[in-house]
């Protein structure tokens, strides 16, 4: 009786619970939208941060190994980063030469292709020539109709295309280049500080997790799982890149493709970005083969070979190895790639799986988030 007197007139207990659930759901949705907007808005800051964390995870074993030889972590971190930068800079020089060599052959290949088309008989007229003839006839008929409909009092306006302004193009692109260079430099500095700090922040997180020993041990276990899963995933990505690079180089070499080493290195690096990287290599290698052989058939063959290699790596090798180093299911990985690719572009495709691993590990250890972890798991 007392319970009924306390309840408002006409309002049942079920309706109150339903109203509270709707309010909580609305708050969760609004918070999620705000978080997504913040992540997209703060991309210039978060991308170098996430990239630096992943790179520091990959390089930390080397710095720890140098520490065993009584080399201080700040000095070891500087040494490892210096070797990494010098290696990348040294490898970029021959790649630049290979790129210039391919571009130098482009005008010659196009000229050869045009000569071959000019030598073809009228019976061998292709689809492009027929489309050009049709377009020319349509333009001629449209011009005849305009001349008939012209009146003396009507002023005809002619649109003149402005020449390409290289200085304007350079000024507009310089801001983007400056942003990219500053982000790379910031990421390298952050990697150095993380490597030099070592386990400082891990100890701070464990200390802040709470005074109880159980909570501190749980926080330490979560951090260890973070590090272990990300390092294993980076190792799997390295194996996949080596697989794609080696077999791309070998296949292109056997097919007589010039600059086979260049395409092997490019294909291996591009395989780190799922879907987008292999697609760009497929198109680029096909165009390069067309330029070299002056044959559309060879361009298609080279593109198909690149597609087969990246398909084996992306659909067989990488899922098999990833399933062993993580507990994520394939649907969650694919949705994560779509989400982070939409949010951060090519960088999002690279960091999507490590982010899902971290989220899955965190959800498995938090009681209220275990349902999310169950959806992400196998």
186: CB partners within 8 A, 6+ apart: 48, 52
Q: How many CB atoms lie within 10 A of CB 337?
A: 20
Tell me how many degrees the CA angle 71-75-77 measures, rounded to the nearest 5. 105
- 190 & 287 share domain: no
Mean pLDDT (the chain) is: 75
- 235 & 309 share domain: yes
pLDDT at 319 over 60: yes
User: pLDDT of 103-148, one tens digit each?
Assistant: 666 666 666 666 655 555 544 455 455 556 655 666 665 555 555 4
- 256 & 193 share domain: no
- 226 & 263 share domain: yes
- 216 & 115 share domain: no
- 104 & 209 share domain: no
- 193 & 211 share domain: no
- 242 & 296 share domain: yes
83 bridge partner residues: none
Tell me if 352 sits within 8 A of 337, measured CB to CB: yes
- 194 & 83 share domain: yes
Claim: this prediction has a pTM higher than 0.75: no
On whether residue 284 sits in a domain, the answer given is yes
Among 175, 176, 195, 177, residue whose Cα is nearest residue 187? 195
On whether residue 357 sits in a domain, the answer given is no
Domain of residue 90 covers 46-120+176-198
- 253 & 180 share domain: no
On whether residue 26 sits in a domain, the answer given is no
Quick one: pLDDT band at residue 304, thresholds 50, 70, 90?
very high
Q: How many separate domains does the chain show? A: 2
On whether residue 334 sits in a domain, the answer given is no
Among 280, 297, 325, give the residue marking a domain's end. Answer: 325
Among 198, 230, 245, give the residue marking a domain's end. Answer: 198
Tell me if 279 sits within 8 A of 306, measured CB to CB: no
On whether residue 31 sits in a domain, the answer given is no
On whether residue 147 sits in a domain, the answer given is no
Among 237, 301, 298, 292, residue whose Cα is nearest residue 270? 237
Token reading at 100 = 């210039």
DSSP secondary structure string for all residues of 259-270: SHHHHHHHHHHH
User: Of the ranges 15-24, 256-265, 362-371, which one carries the lowest mean pLDDT score?
Assistant: 15-24
- Give the rounded percent of residues in the chain with a pLDDT score beyond 70: 71
Tell me if 271 sits within 8 A of 313, measured CB to CB: yes
DSSP-assigned letter for residue 209: T
On whether residue 251 sits in a domain, the answer given is yes
Tell me how many degrees the CA angle 241-191-362 measures, rounded to the nearest 5. 75
Token reading at 354 = 């490590």
Tell me how many degrees the CA angle 209-213-218 measures, rounded to the nearest 5. 55
From residue 54, how far is each of 28, 59, 241 by CA, in Å? 29, 9, 17
User: pLDDT of 225-264, one tens digit each?
Assistant: 777 778 888 888 888 889 998 999 999 989 888 888 888 8
Among 284, 310, 325, give the residue marking a domain's end. Answer: 325
- 319 & 224 share domain: yes
- 235 & 211 share domain: yes
pLDDT at 3 over 70: no
């Amino acid at each position: 009786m007392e319970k009924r007197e306390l309840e408002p007139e006409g309002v049942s207990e079920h309706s109150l619970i339903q109203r509270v659930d709707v309010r909580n759901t609305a708050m969760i949705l609004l918070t999620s939208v705000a978080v997504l907007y913040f992540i997209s808005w703060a991309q210039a800051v978060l991308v170098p941060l996430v990239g630096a964390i992943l790179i520091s995870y990959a390089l930390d074993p080397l710095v720890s190994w140098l520490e065993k030889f009584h080399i201080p972590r700040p000095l070891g971190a500087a040494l490892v980063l210096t070797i990494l930068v010098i290696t990348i800079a040294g490898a970029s020089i021959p790649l630049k030469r290979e790129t210039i060599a391919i571009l130098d052959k482009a005008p010659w290949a196009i000229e050869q292709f045009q000569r071959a088309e000019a030598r073809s008989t009228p019976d061998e007229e292709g689809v492009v020539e027929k489309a050009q003839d049709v377009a020319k006839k349509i333009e001629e008929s449209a011009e005849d109709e305009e001349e008939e409909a012209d009146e003396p009092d009507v002023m005809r306006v002619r649109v003149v295309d402005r020449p390409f302004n290289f200085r304007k193009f350079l000024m507009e692109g310089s801001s983007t280049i400056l942003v990219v260079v500053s982000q790379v430099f910031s990421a390298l500095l952050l990697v150095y500080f993380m490597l030099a700090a070592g386990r400082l922040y891990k100890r701070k997180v464990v200390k802040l997790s709470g005074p109880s020993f159980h909570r501190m041990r749980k926080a330490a276990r979560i951090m260890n799982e973070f590090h272990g899963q990300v390092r294993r995933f980076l190792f799997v990505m390295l194996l996949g890149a080596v697989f794609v690079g080696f077999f791309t180089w070998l296949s292109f070499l056997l097919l007589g493709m010039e600059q086979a080493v260049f395409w092997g290195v490019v294909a291996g690096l591009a395989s780190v970005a799922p879907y987008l990287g292999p697609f760009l290599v497929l198109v680029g290698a096909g165009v390069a083969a067309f330029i070299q052989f002056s044959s559309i058939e060879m361009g298609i063959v080279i593109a198909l070979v690149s597609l087969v290699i990246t398909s084996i790596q992306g659909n067989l090798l990488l899922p098999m190895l990833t399933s062993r180093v993580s507990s994520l299911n394939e649907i969650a990985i694919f949705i994560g790639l779509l989400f982070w690719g939409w949010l951060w572009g090519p960088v999002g495709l690279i960091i999507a799986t490590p982010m899902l691993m971290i989220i899955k590990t965190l959800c498995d250890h938090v009681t209220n988030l275990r349902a999310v972890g169950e959806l992400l798991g196998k």
